[in-house]
Amino acid sequence: MDKKNRDLNYSIYPSDKNIHPKSFTPDYKSSILRSPKKSPLSIKNIISDLSGHIFEKNDLGSLDNDLIKNYCKNSEPIGERIIIFGKVLDENSKPIPNSLIEIWQANSSGRYRHNGDNYNAPLDPSFGGWGRCLTDNNGNYFFKTIKPGAYPWPNGGNNWRPAHIHFSVFGLSFLQRLITQMYFEGDPLISICPIAQSINNKNALESLISKLDLSKSVHMDYRAYKFDIILRGEKSIPFENRK
């Protein structure tokens, strides 16, 4: 097989625009100004854009994935203690090892440790609300944290964000990055949240909802939620599919 045919010997998954929310979603007020006014451009990448490890395990601290302990000084944070775990996979169910996952979230009262958060719920002095880890050779990741609270947001009405955790997932470089949110199974606010409901595809929205897994829970301590992340595989985006 010549080089040209070898390069084309992979599974191609065309981008499915039906599973992504539209950029312009008037019920989500911020999208009115944020949505692009012009068509996106594809920019050719060079090899340094797409390769090179970001972190090694020795670059991370031993408590980076433990939000219960990585900020507290004297006492542990207040709230429901939970475990978040899962796999990072591509569209062929192939594990993605050494992927840097960063998370950030509100505390159990629904407030972020951020100067721009003016919600009058209390800050927890023992909770920072951030963490990170690397996936192992089988694509597994694991966090300990506090279940975040819901919070109001200025969308023009009595709108409340469901409890959620923000995820940033890196591939082989800083240009290969996915930012998404994880919701919790059974939260009634998901069905009335303008941001969550901007996703019209039911299966796509379900993929953002973690599932309670009592088999991984720790008796008298943590409840566990499973959240797998499926990334688009190599050469799966439109400009990489060009012959």
Tell me the C-alpha distance between 225 and 103, whole Å. Answer: 15
132 among known catalytic residues: no
Q: Active site residue: 112, 141, 183, 225, which one?
A: 112
DSSP class of 199 = -
Cβ atoms of 98 and 53 within 8 Å: the answer is: yes
Beta bridge partners of 210: 184
Written as six digits, the tokens of 29 are 């007020």
SS3 call for 19: helix
Cβ atoms of 196 and 206 within 8 Å: the answer is: no
For residue 151, give the nearest of 214, 105, 85 by alpha carbon.
Answer: 105
Q: Active site residue: 28, 161, 183, 225, which one?
A: 161
For residue 162, give the nearest of 147, 139, 183 by alpha carbon.
Answer: 183
164 among known catalytic residues: yes
Q: Active site residue: 166, 222, 223, 232, which one?
A: 166
28 among known catalytic residues: no
20 among known catalytic residues: no
Cα diameter, the chain: 65
Q: Active site residue: 71, 151, 183, 225, which one?
A: 151
Tell me the C-alpha distance between 73 and 78, whole Å. Answer: 13
Written as six digits, the tokens of 207 are 């993929």
For 239, residues 6+ apart whose C-beta sits below 8 A from its C-beta are 42, 44
Catalytic residue positions, numbered: 112, 151, 161, 164, 166
